[in-house]
Amino acid sequence: MCGVVGFVSKHGLAQKNVLRGLSCLEYRGYDSTGFACIDQQSRLHIQKVVGSLNNLIPALEAKSIDGTIAIGHTRWATHGMATLENAHPHTDCGQSLALIHNGIIENHQILRKQLQQQGHTFTSESDSEVIAHLAETFIQEQLRPSAILQKLSETLQGAYAYIILSQNFPNQLLIARNRSPLCLAIGKDGIFVASDPLAFPEQVDQMLFLPDKSYAVVTHNEYQIFDFVGNLLDVQLEKADKLVVVSGKGDYEHYMLKEIFEQKQAILRTLYEYKSGQTIQERLGLSTQAIKELEEITIVGCGTSFHAGLIGQFFLESIAQVATTVQLGSEFRHKTFLPRKKSVCIAISQSGQTADTLEAVELVKQHKVPVVALTNVAQSSLARESNGLLVTQAGPEIAVASTKAFSTQVATLYWLAHQIALVKGLIDNTSMLQVEQDLEAVASMLEANIAVHKDSIVADLDLYVSFKNYIFLGRHVTYPFALEAALKLKEISYIFSQAYSAGELKHGPLALVDATVPVILFSHPDESIYKKIVANAQEVKARKGFLIVFACQGQEELLELADKSFIMQTGPALLSPLAMTGVMQFFCYVLAKKMGRSIDKPRNLAKSVTVE
């Protein structure tokens, strides 16, 4: 799981373009970074470093290597540690080719053994290295580039998008994909190849996504794409999306902080997009009849997107009156999927690239259940695989920890539940207008709540960072919100944090509670739920737990029990998690900052997880 980029230029030097592309792909991992090019004298140069592009650039400057054809790789370690040996590009025994790969070669062990028996020497633990040695054997058989790619497709199992640069074909990139994404763009000075169109320069206006199970030979002005059977494919070029412009951090110290403060505008933009243009039927790819008759919704997602789905389940069941289940992408495949006849799947993914979610979607489609993508990237694999599309307008989210993608997903699901209710005649247009106004108001509350509480959070940071573990509790919609809060805190601060339904406290987690364990309790505006939450708060205090509450206005009893409290404006009860989102994220952010963590790029993580 990594990012690959390649460029074959007409006359210019390729390095600058490859490094610029790599800088846009670091969301796919940053354990190591590598570059390879063939220079004017047909010599192959490879430079790799442990860590991010920041380490590669000085290493390249020191050597001043460049050429008209080059490739670059950014790695998130799966097979083998984050070492120089395991960094891409990998090479063959003759050191005449460079290979970069995104994905996992499932039959790498058996291939490695066979190749070793044939005399090949491996220098890394990486599964990817087998591709380099296999390509070497096919080159030695004097095969043409397309025949080499064909043979590789017959031999390799698993997910892959790879690029091969070889001294034997110094003007061509050999590329292939199976499940992992790969796209190509035509530039003024040559042809670009990358895992994601984000890596293409702005001037590029025509691009294509390589179809699944295809390979291509690419020169500076031509490419031919074949399927795995060897048939030439006619793949239409499309207009490159110019909206994907990543602006800098501005005055903010980290992207995460900037993105926390962009949430209000992101929600408003998302709502604006939904209110204009297409009807809900067009967006979902479902007829009015099909929406009216919906018997079941299956939501799939991973990480933060899964948590947004869990919150959305409450909306879809209580407002749209449709039975809803929420599944982790990675678990879905191991379950028996028994969809009802009138069923739809909503696949949630900020990036639209998460392999586990894409894999779940493939399974759903095998059951002929329509899929609606809820994503932040309109051109993503998920968007293209789905029948319907809801695009959040969060703008590029750069920090690994998801913030504005989460809040726009939650806002979308709330809006969607009401749209389905509207089509079913459960609510009228006036109520729908009110819903949109409520969402706008809560977007403002999200921001206003941060302004109210940020100073007091910062003032108590010494205390907050002194705790070694955190327990998060919530009930009803604030329970999945507690799951999201625990994820946020652990991913950026590395403090162990775990969330439980507040009612489950007494069934085990209470054993962990004492004066050294802080419990963050998210309250709920609904009176009956609030009463139960107060009871849970009492249970914590009875065990001397350090109680931090996110309370709603007027919840005096809870405030009296709390050691620290943040009173929230919340709006409609179902939207209370959205209103609390900003303060919760800010709390996690400043804790991580105080601890000196690498906030935008936490250790061991990646923004987009493109392996299963």
Any contact of residue 607 with ligand G6P (CB under 6 A)? yes
Nearer to ligand G6P, 86 or 304 (CB): 304
Please report, as residue ranges, which positions from 305 to 334 form the binding site for ligand G6P (by CB under 6 A).
Answer: 305
Residues 6+ apart with CB under 8 A from 502: 473, 474, 475, 479, 521, 532, 533, 536
- The residues carrying an active-site annotation are 2, 607
CA 490, CA 467: separation in Å to the nearest integer? 13
Q: Closest Cα to residue 418, out of 282, 289, 312? A: 312
Nearer to ligand G6P, 324 or 357 (CB): 357
Minimum Å gap between C-beta 171 and ligand G6P is: 36
Quick count: other Cβ atoms within 10 Å of Cβ 581? 29
Candidates 158-166, 428-436, 579-587, 604-612: pick the segment binding ligand G6P (CB under 6 A): 604-612
Cis peptide leading into residue 509 (ω within 30°):
no
What are the beta bridge partners of residue 461? none
Any contact of residue 393 with ligand G6P (CB under 6 A)? no
Q: Closest Cα to residue 607, out of 380, 435, 281, 283? A: 380
Minimum Å gap between C-beta 497 and ligand G6P is: 15
Candidates 35-43, 111-119, 347-355, 458-466: pick the segment binding ligand G6P (CB under 6 A): 347-355
Minimum Å gap between C-beta 16 and ligand G6P is: 29
Any contact of residue 380 with ligand G6P (CB under 6 A)? no
Any contact of residue 605 with ligand G6P (CB under 6 A)? yes
Residues 6+ apart with CB under 8 A from 248: none
Nearer to ligand G6P, 352 or 388 (CB): 352
Any contact of residue 17 with ligand G6P (CB under 6 A)? no
Any contact of residue 567 with ligand G6P (CB under 6 A)? no
CA 532, CA 252: separation in Å to the nearest integer? 40
Q: Which residue has the tokens 């929406």?
A: 291
Q: Closest Cα to residue 300, out of 231, 247, 375? A: 375
Any contact of residue 609 with ligand G6P (CB under 6 A)? yes
Phi, psi of 217 (to 5 degrees): -110, 130
Residues 6+ apart with CB under 8 A from 527: none
Nearer to ligand G6P, 244 or 512 (CB): 244
Minimum Å gap between C-beta 34 and ligand G6P is: 23
Any contact of residue 349 with ligand G6P (CB under 6 A)? yes
Any contact of residue 536 with ligand G6P (CB under 6 A)? no
Any contact of residue 402 with ligand G6P (CB under 6 A)? yes
Quote the Cα angle for 515-521-524, to 5°. 155
Q: Residues in contact with ligand G6P, total (CB under 6 A)?
A: 16
Any contact of residue 14 with ligand G6P (CB under 6 A)? no
Binding residues (CB under 6 A) for ligand G6P: these are 302-305, 349-351, 354, 357, 400-402, 605, 607-609
